[in-house]
Amino acid sequence: MIFDLKSSFTFSNDISSISKELQDSIKSFNSKIHQKDKTVEIKDIKIKKNILYFGIISEGIFRPHNALLQLKNEISKEFGKKHHVGVREIKITGYNISFELEKKPLKDITIPFADVKFKDKIATIILKEVDEEFLQRNYIDRMINRVSEKVESQYYEGKGEFWKAIWESAEKKPLWNKDPTEEMVKNKWLEQGPTKGKWFYRAQATAILKTMEKIAIEEVLKPLGFQEVIESHIVPFDIWLKTGHMEGMPGEFYYVCEPATRDTQAWERFVDLTKITKEVHIDELMNNLSPPKAGICYAQCPIIYWSFKGKTISEKSLPVLVYDKTAISNRYESGGRHGIERVDEFHRIEPVYIGTREQLLKLRENLLDCYKHIFNDIFDLEWRIAWVTPWYMQQAGKIGDESTQDTGTIDFEAYMPYRGDRKTSEWLEFQNLSILGDKYIKAFNIKAQKNELWSGCSGIGLERWTAAFLAQKSLDPNNWPEGFRKYLDKLPVGIEFL
Ligand code: SER
Ligand code: ZN
């Protein structure tokens, strides 16, 4: 890495008369730094009236912008006392940082605050007119990382994500091959919701979704000792900054605005317009809204982690086993929506677990046993399990690799007969299970008395369970497996529409 910085100090008075002394002082400062890093060089020193111009280059760990701030302090100390002059202003007129990339960029990239140029595997970040605060804020290192990351991702574009099957059930003869959503809509069990990707579940569909919830609680969460918690639906940005969601999928959130005020006077014009025109005047509305600082729940685990932020958990309480089934997840799906299986709003139970590595690996076995019991014995599904890119990497648009076995995400996928042949059609991910090491433990500074903690979560999507089950077993309760009929053998009688 080569750092090449051009800067100037503006002094309170003319410094031409002390030019020699300043040059000597800079030289001795430079040799002091050499003890830490031999590659740092202060050069091209020029003095004009009250301005000192110079450059700093470095190839090592000692960054010129750090040297610059130290130099300012040294000079202020020495010359303030002796000659009553001080540094009034630091100017950075140019800062170029060159470094070698792992792979040759396939095309140009842009980043904020700087130009980026490539020559083979060498990237150069060219900053202009940056101030002291900018240098202190650690942006430079993050800009270097962002360039490397963007080049790296050029190689992933269009490549499939990591996927490796680890278990599959026997083939099961489907009882039909229709799309369950379409059929439920025909039967009036379900209506398209008032806005995109949302559904209105009438009593029959609701009974099935609620049965899924009951089965998950009775067959997985209660036997394993999970406790229910209730979280907020609204997630402030600082939580998503910690989990990485904010940088991972800003285009998929539903954002939340608070009113700027409750003052009725401020809202008077809006109310008048609404009463007179019977329309919503968006411009007037925007005048009375605050910019968003939060979004609606996207996954339930971030707020659960936040609830443990900075806390030390007693050994007695480990592993922590909790789940939320109240917060509804919202994701802006754009083109990908389909039926109840790919929606903008979905109902999910999310168990979260925090414990030692051994506790969580054991828990994963237990969870797998319970899930297998449900999908084999209660649903009688044709399904499989695969290692996939961990969810937090998927959600950050990254690709996983095979290095994960202790940690990582397992997906549960079901054959959907209406989509075609079992070998060539796409199966539905109807469930996941992850162990994520200490990623969120660190992000939220969660501690134990002596052990290192790990965490993980599992997404139990009620719509996905329903879609998988009905796609194979039809809408007719008479066709449903015995195990499921123990939970639900008769559907509510629907409302007759004329
Ligand atoms: N947090 C996980 C996910 O988003 C499990 O719900 O998939
Ligand atoms: Zn989660």
Q: What is the pLDDT of residues 286-298, one digit of tens each?
A: 999 999 999 999 9
As to burial, measured by CB atoms within 10 angstroms (0-12 exposed, 13-18 middle, 19+ buried), residue 137 is: exposed
Tokens 């009036």, residue located: 188
pLDDT at 404: 58
pLDDT at 217: 98
Give the residue, by CA position, lying nearest to ligand 1 atom 5: 459
Please confirm whether the linkage preceding 223 is cis (ω < 30° from 0): no
CA distances from 136 to 63, 133, 146, 170 (A): 11, 5, 18, 60
Tokens 């959600």, residue located: 395
Q: Which of 213, 252, 429, 438 is catalytic?
A: 429
Give the residue, by CA position, lying nearest to ligand 1 atom 4: 299
Q: Are 418 and 471 in contact (CB under 8 A)?
A: yes
Residue 142 annotated in active site: no
Quick one: which H or E segment has residue 423? Answer: none
Looking at the chain, which residues constitute the CATH 3.30.70.1920 domain(s)? Answer: 2-154
pLDDT at 221: 98
Per-residue pLDDT of the chain (498 residues; tens, 9 = 90+): 999 999 999 999 999 999 999 999 999 999 999 998 999 999 999 999 999 999 999 997 888 988 998 999 999 999 998 899 999 999 999 999 999 999 999 999 999 999 999 999 999 999 987 888 888 888 988 999 999 999 998 988 777 778 899 999 999 999 999 999 999 999 999 999 999 999 999 999 999 999 999 999 999 999 999 999 999 999 999 999 999 999 999 999 999 999 999 999 999 999 999 999 999 999 999 999 999 999 999 999 999 999 999 999 999 999 999 999 999 999 999 888 999 999 999 999 999 999 999 999 999 999 999 999 999 999 999 999 999 988 887 776 666 665 557 889 999 999 999 999 999 999 999 999 999 999 999 999 999 999 899 999 999 999 999 999 999 999 999 999 999 999 999 999 999 999
**Number of helices (H), then strands (E), in the chain:** 16, 22
Give the residue, by CA position, lying nearest to ligand 1 atom 1: 299
The two tokens of residue 328 are 């509804």
Query: What is the rounded CA–CA span in Å between residue 92 and residue 113?
Result: 13
Q: Which of 342, 384, 422, 485 is catalytic?
A: 342
Q: Which of 485, 495, 460 has the alpha carbon at shortest distance from 221?
A: 460
CATH of 163-257+292-485, one of 1.10.3720.10, 3.40.30.10, 3.40.50.2300, 3.30.930.10: 3.30.930.10
> Within 6 Å (CB) of ligand 1, which residues are found?
299, 301, 350, 391, 432, 457, 459
Q: Which of 297, 301, 345, 413 is catalytic?
A: 301
Q: Which of 63, 348, 364, 464 is catalytic?
A: 464
| Residue 236 alpha carbon to ligand 1 centre in Å | 18
Beta bridge pairs of residue 410: 387, 433
Which are the contacts of 384, defined by CB distance < 8 A and separation ≥ 6? 165, 167, 168, 169, 412, 413, 427
Q: Are 400 and 161 in contact (CB under 8 A)?
A: yes
pLDDT at 247: 94
Tokens 């007693």, residue located: 314
| Residue 77 alpha carbon to ligand 2 centre in Å | 53
| Residue 51 alpha carbon to ligand 1 centre in Å | 57
**Choice from 297, 350, 435 to test ligand 1 binding pocket (greatest atom count within 8 A of CB):** 350
Q: Which ligand is nearest to the CA of 430?
A: 1
Query: What is the rounded CA–CA span in Å between residue 97 and residue 57?
Result: 10
Residue 482 annotated in active site: no
With H, G, I as helix, E, B as strand and everything else as coil, classify residue 20.
helix
Q: Cα-flanking dihedrals φ and ψ of residue 369, to 5°? A: -60, -45
Quick one: which H or E segment has residue 494? Answer: none
Q: Which of 59, 152, 333, 438 is catalytic?
A: 333
pLDDT at 81: 87
Q: Are 469 and 484 in contact (CB under 8 A)?
A: yes
Looking at the chain, which residues constitute the CATH 3.30.930.10 domain(s)? Answer: 163-257+292-485
Residue 411 annotated in active site: yes
pLDDT at 389: 84
Q: Which ligand is nearest to the CA of 353?
A: 2
pLDDT at 206: 98
Instruction: Indicate the pairing of strand 320-324 with strand 345-355.
Output: antiparallel
Ligand 1, residue 302: give the atom nearest the CA: 1
| Residue 176 alpha carbon to ligand 2 centre in Å | 33
Strands of the sheet containing 87-100, edge to edge, are: 41-48, 51-58, 2-11, 87-100, 122-127, 114-119
| Residue 411 alpha carbon to ligand 1 centre in Å | 11
- pLDDT digit string (tens) for 226-273? 999 999 999 999 999 999 999 999 999 999 999 999 999 999 999 999
Query: What is the rounded CA–CA span in Å between residue 441 and residue 448?
Result: 10
Residue 213 annotated in active site: no
**Choice from 239, 252, 301 to test ligand 1 binding pocket (greatest atom count within 8 A of CB):** 301
| Residue 457 alpha carbon to ligand 2 centre in Å | 5
Q: Is the domain defined by 2-154 classed in CATH 1.10.1030.10?
A: no
Tokens 């796409």, residue located: 426
Ligand 1, residue 458: give the atom nearest the CA: 5
